[in-house]
Amino acid sequence: MINYIFASFFILGIIYSLITNNINISNEMLSASSKAIELIFSMIPIMCLWLGIVNIAKKSGLLDKLAKLLTPILKILFPEIPKGDKAFSYISINIIMNMLGVGNAATPFGLKAMKSLQELNKNKDTASRSMITFIVLNTAAVTIIPTTIISLRMLNKSINPMSIVPYIIITSTLSCMIGLILDRLYYLVIRR
């Protein structure tokens, strides 16, 4: 699937640029490559810092306590993860970080969660049911503090930059629920 997305973006983009005589595209490709490198370099410190901190939390048992707090909800969302699995801890922190609007700190835990879900996965090249649910939780994450949006609104002289926060909480919660319901329905329909 990612295969086709990757290919179609290239094909559509390049053909359309050629038709519209957009010569800039070769420069854009090069600058995108350096942008990608920059992004990775800006991600490495966050990854190292947060996985360092969380490793301490893991060893002290704090992580398991946190996971226990969210377990009742997570058990419903992820019926296939065995009780007490470490995937629960990573999923919990990932959700909390996403809610707090620190998406880039959520990514390291998301990747760790995927790794532990892969250990439980029987078919190593196919996404498991839990993985799909977890992806939905991330792409349609519930947001409580949308940091970037608030600062963009401040920059553009909004009278009340915070006014959209309640809307975002409602919208992101509803769309996350819709995503999760679709996910569950799809699973139930396919299984039959």
Q: At residue 124, what are phi and psi to the nearest 5 degrees?
A: -65, -15
**Which of 67-75, 77-85, 117-125 is the region at the interface with other proteins (rule: CB under 8 A)?**
117-125
Q: What angle do CA 63, 138, 118 make, to 5 degrees?
A: 65
Note whether 23 binds other proteins by CB under 8 A. no
> In the range 26-45, which residues lie near other proteins by CB under 8 A?
28-29, 31-33, 35-37, 39-40, 43-44
Tokens of 41: 């370099």
**What angle, rounded to 10 degrees, do the helices at 86-99 and 129-139 form?**
20
Choose one: 14-22, 67-75, 77-85; the region binding other proteins (CB under 8 A).
14-22
Binding segment (CB under 8 A) for other proteins, from list 69-77, 78-86, 95-103? 95-103
Query: For other proteins, what does the binding mask look like between residues 45 and 74, x meaning CB under 8 A?
Result: --xxxxxxxxxxxxxxxx------------
DSSP string, 57-71: HHHHTHHHHHHHHHH
Residues in contact with other proteins, counted by CB under 8 A, come to a total of 106
